[in-house]
Structure 1
Amino acid sequence: MKISELPARPLAALRKGGVIPAHPLALDAARRLDERRQRALSRYYLDAGAAGLAVGVHTTQFEIRDHGLLEPVLTLAAQEAAAHPGEPFLVAGAIGRTGQAVREAELARVKGYHAVLLGLAGLDDLDEDALVAHCRAVADVMPIIGFYLQTAVGGPVLPYSFWRRFARIENVVAIKIAPFHRYRTLDVARAVVDAGAEERITLYTGNDDHIVADLMTRFTFMRDGKPVSVRIKGGLLGHWAVWTKRAVELLADIHERPDARTTAEWLELDARTTEANGVLFDVANGFAGCIAAIHEVLRRQGLLEGIWCLNPDETMGPGQAEELDRIYRDYPELNDDAFVRANLGRWLK
């Protein structure tokens, strides 16, 4: 499947730039898939106005592959998306060696997904030529989204030269920039411009530590003696797996009402959002509790029954719950609890 074969409405939503939550995994107390709550999460995101869903990614827990859960969670999200009038853009995670990544892309294509988010963690032994060949093999199956994953959770350092070659792969539809690193973020943006791919590749932030500033920044580089500018249009974020309604409103303001705040006010909001993310992602404990804390917010809202992860040792870090209380107290405008309360019963049916 090529980019030109994608349905018009989902592709337009991706191109405009939207909120694409990284979909969590709903488990019961026995750490088995809770299908009812898994569906409820998808319904929440779509009713909140998300432009798409990203499933089988880091926030869904990479271990789903070891538990036979990749196909079920892809299926549930695809079914909920098909029932929703918005025609969301569906992203499936694909990881591993070339054979595994190609098989996962083939599964995603069969399930009705529009692109795969291609993770390159664990491929540190491959040189740049081999990495590019790996990406091309997956892109031969369906459109791909590049993924610059931060090193703190296993992502490799990928130089500008790699991203310039990656951007020249014709079936790359977007890149999620998530190194949590300003210099590396600039490498990706410049590489896309230098490859002449800025019309084909839509940039999304995955920098949960710098969300608002990423979305507000115009990146301008010289090409053939002329300035060429690109913007990060949306976010494919674990942070946006919670308080999604607020994220949709934020992005709408950035796209349609950038003058609604002064520059100083936007930067202040960026700082507040980053502080909240530091708590959600458990920066104090080396990101150990980043998935469990997302679950905790969803549990407090009633969307999840508990914070269980597939790995019994994966839970919130010391002091993280208290810090989450503080964020709720100090920045109540960031949460969408009222929206969830008003719709929770319907989503759980």
Structure 2
Amino acid sequence: MTDLEERTATDLRARLDTGVVIPAHPLALDDSGGLDLTAQRALTRYQLAAGAHGLAVGVHTTQFELHHDPGMLRTVWELAALTAAEAAPGQRPIMVAGLVGDTAQAVREAQIARELGYEAALMSPWGMSERSEPILLERAQAVGEVLPTIGFYLQDSVGGTPLTREFWRRLFELDSVVAVKVAPFDRYRTNDVLQELLVHDRWDQVAVLTGNDDAIVHDLLTPYRARVGGRLREVRARGGLLGQWAVGTKAAVELVARANAAVTADAIDQDLLALATDLVEVNAAVFDVAHDFAGCVPGVNEVLRQQGLVPTAACLGADLLSPGQSELIASMRSRYPELLDEQFVAEGRDAWLS
């Protein structure tokens, strides 16, 4: 990396470690399956009006199938970047591009994203012809020559693969890695990543972002500690990048601020822990846990459809709502309106769609 690139990466890492809320950006389709530009723009406006510190576009919640159409992908990336610049002037939202595919495709997508003003890349194994750890590391290094990267441990149910501690050790060697999104939905695998980071020379140069939608509060409150060379080190997720935050974004911003304040004051109360269980209840409905996450992407869209922000829960691929999922989501909206921004969305919807 050049000196300028190193300074840019260092600045980005510092921003990512300040308690950021980066929601995954959904994809708004119309009834014919095409991109609904008005609704797509409204989603960006909603998330930023809610206080999000950045957006992740082209990720799982945006629908990986989007990457089959480079023209549509570019349109979605560009629209989000332009709308973010208009909606949050002077605030520098952190724009994260979700990348897929083998090394050549991922690098090509990274170049487009950088051209459009994106600051970091989050790479998924979706669409790769080979997912061995050497290939994943090779791809990360190649993309890192274009954009700073965020390491990503994706849960198996939506296309992830188990990764060894050695993989994380080698990934953290890359100077281009500014953060890691830990989202295996598994405490042992989450522990693997954080334990390796703790003992690595770059332990304080990689921000930790929770992606565990089933353990958001726990991740925000839990410190990982190790004594290395006679000095105590500690790492913790101060923020996150989550599909669950595609809905209830304002509530997420408030939660992260509350959790970080509680940690700073060493005053974690029972109400905050109880909130963790409420969030799991909501997420189970939205992500369709009862059917092994089969309806997780249309579930996000269905919340937004019921709230009047998008016209349909339909997806580009074959993903559909599971039987009873729509009714379960409606129940969650009634039981936990504050966690899904019901009043905030109702008050802002018309303006965002204008």
Superposition TM-score, scaled by structure 2 size: 0.93
Aligned equivalents of 1:12 and 1:82: distance in 2? 21
Give the secondary structure class of the aligned counterpart of 1:87: coil
Give the secondary structure class of the aligned counterpart of 1:346: helix
CA pair 324-139 structure 1, distance change in 2 beyond 3 A: same
* Aligned residue number for residue 276 of structure 1: 282
Aligned equivalent of 1:32, options 24, 31, 34: 34
Q: Which amino acid aligns with 1:310?
A: L
* Aligned residue number for residue 53 of structure 2: 51
Deviations 1:123-150 (A, max 9, x none): 5845433332221111111100011000
Q: Which amino acid aligns with 1:48?
A: A
* Aligned residue number for residue 21 of structure 2: 19
Give the deviation of 1:3 after TM superposition: 4.5
Unaligned runs of 5+ in 1: none
Aligned equivalent of 1:303, options 296, 305, 309: 309
Deviations 1:174-221 (A, max 9, x none): 111000000100111111122222321111011001111101111112
Range 105-114 or range 317-326, more displaced: 317-326
Q: Any conservation in 2 of the 1:203–1:231 contact (CA below 8 Å)?
A: yes
Q: Any conservation in 2 of the 1:21–1:241 contact (CA below 8 Å)?
A: yes
Report whether the alignment pairs 1:110 with 2:112. no
The 5 Å alignment of 1:183-198 reads 183-198=188-203
CA pair 4-326 structure 1, distance change in 2 beyond 3 A: same
Q: Any conservation in 2 of the 1:205–1:234 contact (CA below 8 Å)?
A: yes
Report whether the alignment pairs 1:132 with 2:137. yes
Q: Any conservation in 2 of the 1:175–1:203 contact (CA below 8 Å)?
A: yes
**Quick one: percent identity of the two aligned structures?**
46
The 5 Å alignment of 1:63-78 reads 63-67=65-69, 68-78=71-81
Aligned equivalent of 1:265, options 261, 271, 284: 271
Give the deviation of 1:260 after TM superposition: 10
Give the secondary structure class of the aligned counterpart of 2:121: strand
* Aligned residue number for residue 342 of structure 1: 347
Q: Any conservation in 2 of the 1:13–1:51 contact (CA below 8 Å)?
A: no
Report whether the alignment pairs 1:42 with 2:48. no
Unaligned runs of 5+ in 2: none
Q: Any conservation in 2 of the 1:220–1:227 contact (CA below 8 Å)?
A: yes
Give the deviation of 1:252 after TM superposition: 1.0
Superposition TM-score, scaled by structure 1 size: 0.94
CA pair 12-81 structure 1, distance change in 2 beyond 3 A: farther
* Aligned residue number for residue 213 of structure 1: 218
Q: Which amino acid aligns with 1:65?
A: H
Give the secondary structure class of the aligned counterpart of 1:93: strand
Aligned equivalents of 1:335 and 1:24: distance in 2? 15
Give the deviation of 1:322 after TM superposition: 2.2
* Aligned residue number for residue 144 of structure 1: 149
CA pair 128-307 structure 1, distance change in 2 beyond 3 A: closer
* Aligned residue number for residue 91 of structure 1: 96
* Aligned residue number for residue 330 of structure 1: 335
